[in-house]
Structure 1
């Protein structure tokens, strides 16, 4: 028997179970961060409660990198654990999936090669998809200065640290680990789980919204929704998680490189024409992908 023989209720259980366990894991990660800061305060004699610095600034780039990698990789671990539990969930319905565990992992995370054309679209789209979200984030910050939590500014500041090792750690976290883990979660596991009981267009929209909410910043989350829609579209037309990973790599790598080159002092806004050119080019790529790609699961 295969995944398609599983009862429809398996999908909702996987989605709800993952979301619930994700909240638990994030809370645990926050608790571990607080414990680490308290230990740092005891070791150095610093009163961290009297400082104006944020917890992330106190942790520094290495601490933030470790915390971020723990959070995202832990969520991937939660997803892998749920995949392992599927045969137990379906045992009572006598539809136990007899495939080897690795085969179930490959299906659950869409670990197949995909179409060559989708990789080209992912590479080009990764260069353009971030332009409109960046412009939108700038406009939202200007209109609602107290709305965001400053995630983008924090990442920029940490990337421009004088600590070479810390800077390298942040680059690895932002450019490699975050895109890889997030795509395995949203365009891999959650996509496959939701596809068990939702139409593909619904899966595309749902995972894109969850991806935006995951960033836990009203401004950044709203902006990256558009990025998530494009990356999800790659999964939609190609059936593989890898083009989504490539696009996410390129998008984050470009943003991180720009932050390193420009630094924290540049306040030149992105012109709207450039944002519209980037959005138009990305939409054209989506249309090309739809025309040339197979509609595969």
Structure 2
């Protein structure tokens, strides 16, 4: 059972490589336009001019920096991913949205298992995160290493800015921008569209999953976090492959992102000397291994439930 057999609208395309070409080309152009719109609206909301807006994105950050980032990121991501995916499905692939938003197979038990699968995987992935963050480059790649580390440090500062919440309402806004929007939009693009098209083009579901996952990891432009993101992308891809329902990887994606938002909100309230930089610190190796085995067990139960629901 996989998405190619029971939930792959791309199967109708005679030349999926052409469809992939148009998908990538249009996605890049659409995202550039979406970022311009998001930045423009953020400029209007914060009341700054365009040149001053660039200063808001550099430390030291001001209260306006957070507002600017919330507005710019929220709007650009919603337009660049969710709206783009819906447009491409309808206008380019000429398919019904119901094909991608199939609710028939969604159940409480499978959803709980997806939450447990994702949480267990996050425990395992913490050791990969720490390893990736501490990679040392050889001397001949020193220039690239310094550039990548600078990008990582800047993204970390922006993440800490967006993850510091003054009140519950601000946390809910962050939960939508960091949790809901990426979960829906990125899964529609990387799994619902790209993975399906690659699966049809290559006739190899596993190859399609890993290519999509690599692109998913590279898209975030953070080398010192690329490997754990690739593994996450693969997890979402296999969830989609064996369920054929885009809502399950969306749920898994939301759990991964949303849990981080909630921890960043509750941590300073209930943990003395809470350090946001240590949230992704690796657990002991044996705990990481237990997390991996738990993930595989929960996912196996999920597959069995989905298979039973399809056969009924």
Global fold match (TM > 0.5)? yes
Q: 1:59 to 1:259 in 2, by over 3 A?
A: same
Aligned residues: 279
| Equivalent residue number for residue 113 of structure 1 | 104
| Aligned mates of 2:163, 2:304 — CA distance in 1 | 39
1:278 pairs with one of 264, 274, 291: 291
1:82 Cα shift?
A: 2.6
User: In the alignment, does 2:232 pair up with 1:215?
Assistant: no
Alignment-derived partner of residue 166 in structure 2: 162
RMSD (Å), alpha carbons: 3.6
CA distance, structure 2, for counterparts of residue 231 and residue 160 of structure 1: 28
Alignment match of 1:63 (pick from 61, 68, 74): 68
Match of 1:92 in 2: none
> Any idea what the Cα deviations from partners look like across 1:161-216, whole Å, max 9, x if unmatched?
43665443212211222212212222222233333323222222222222212222
Q: Distance in 1 between matches of 2:187 and 2:277?
A: 31
Secondary structure in 2 aligned to 1:294?
helix
SS of the aligned residue for 2:134 comes to: helix
**Which residues in structure 2 correspond to 1:48-197 (within 5 Å)?**
53-54=58-59, 60-74=65-79, 75-86=81-92, 104-107=96-99, 109=100, 111-114=102-105, 116=107, 118-144=110-136, 146=146, 147=149, 148-150=151-153, 151-162=155-166, 165-197=169-201
> Does the Cα contact within 8 Å between 2:46 and 2:67 map onto a contact in 1?
no
Moved more, 44-53 or 197-206: 44-53
Whether contact under 8 Å (1:56, 1:64) holds in the other structure is no
Q: Partners in 2 of 1:14 and 1:38 — Cα distance?
A: 36
Uncovered stretches (5+) of structure 2, i.e. residues with no partner: 1-7, 137-144, 269-273
**Per-residue deviation at 1:242?**
1.0
Q: For residues 138 and 196 of structure 1, do their structure 2 counterparts lie closer, same or farther at Cα, with a shift above 3 Å needed?
A: same
